[in-house]
């Protein structure tokens, strides 16, 4: 396993539509391992392959408590409700914004064994999944943010924003 370099800013992989994975080869499994290791190294809660410069439809997500999910060709098949919440991104360092997202999503994907999985997610996990799947379309959270903020300048008394970059 290896920690990969995270690409940032105007790297073209961040603005490309990622290609579906046709075969879950050893290389794909290895890549998913590297993505998970890289996500943990940088204390993210999610990582999409374009963030390490690879335009394939692969994401890893861990909302905490060691609930690692490695998802191949993930697709949102249902969205419901609306929530606004803070987001950051390892590929857009130092910037945070309030981003509207669906409250609940249903995602279908393949797991590393090639088995179809269906994830029903709400709240924070739903937000992470939407953020990561956006990466596969070349969309960044800064495209959707309704306002930007400096986490150090939030007014006292407010809940501290979740600052885990994804």
Q: Which is nearer to Zn ion, 28 or 128 (CB)?
A: 128
Q: Which is nearer to Zn ion, 14 or 31 (CB)?
A: 14
CA distance 5 to 20: 22
Distant-in-sequence, close-in-space partners of 153: CB < 8 Å, separation ≥ 6: none
Contact between 89 and Zn ion per CB under 5 A: yes
**Selected range binding Zn ion among 67-75, 76-84, 85-93, 115-123, rule: CB under 5 A:** 85-93
Interaction with Zn ion in 147-166: which residues (CB under 5 A)?
166
Beta bridge partners of 116: 110
**Selected range binding Zn ion among 1-9, 23-31, 71-79, 83-91, rule: CB under 5 A:** 83-91
Closest distance of CB 164 from Zn ion, Å: 11
Comparing C-alpha atoms, which of 136, 160, 142 is closest to residue 96? Answer: 142
Q: Which helix (H) or strand (E) holds 110?
A: strand 104-110
Strands lying side by side in the sheet with 83-87: 83-87, 96-101, 147-149
Closest distance of CB 163 from Zn ion, Å: 13
The residues annotated with a catalytic role in the active site are: 132
Contact between 45 and Zn ion per CB under 5 A: no
Where do contacts with Zn ion occur on this chain (CB under 5 A)?
A: 89, 166
């Amino acid at each position: 396993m290896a920690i990969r370099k995270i690409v940032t800013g105007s790297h073209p992989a961040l603005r490309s539509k990622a290609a579906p994975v046709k075969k879950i080869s050893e290389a794909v499994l290895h890549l998913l391992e590297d993505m998970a290791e890289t996500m943990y190294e940088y204390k993210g809660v999610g990582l999409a392959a374009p963030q390490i410069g690879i335009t394939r439809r692969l994401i890893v997500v861990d909302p905490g408590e060691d609930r690692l999910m490695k998802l191949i060709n993930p697709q949102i098949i249902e969205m419901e409700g609306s929530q606004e919440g803070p987001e950051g991104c390892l590929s857009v360092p130092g910037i945070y914004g309030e981003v509207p997202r669906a409250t609940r999503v249903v995602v279908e994907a393949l797991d590393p064994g090639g088995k179809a999985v269906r994830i029903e997610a709400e709240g924070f996990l739903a937000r992470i999944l939407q953020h990561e799947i956006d990466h596969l379309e070349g969309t960044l959270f800064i495209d959707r943010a309704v306002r930007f903020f400096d986490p150090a300048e939030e007014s006292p008394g407010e809940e501290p924003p979740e600052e885990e970059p994804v």
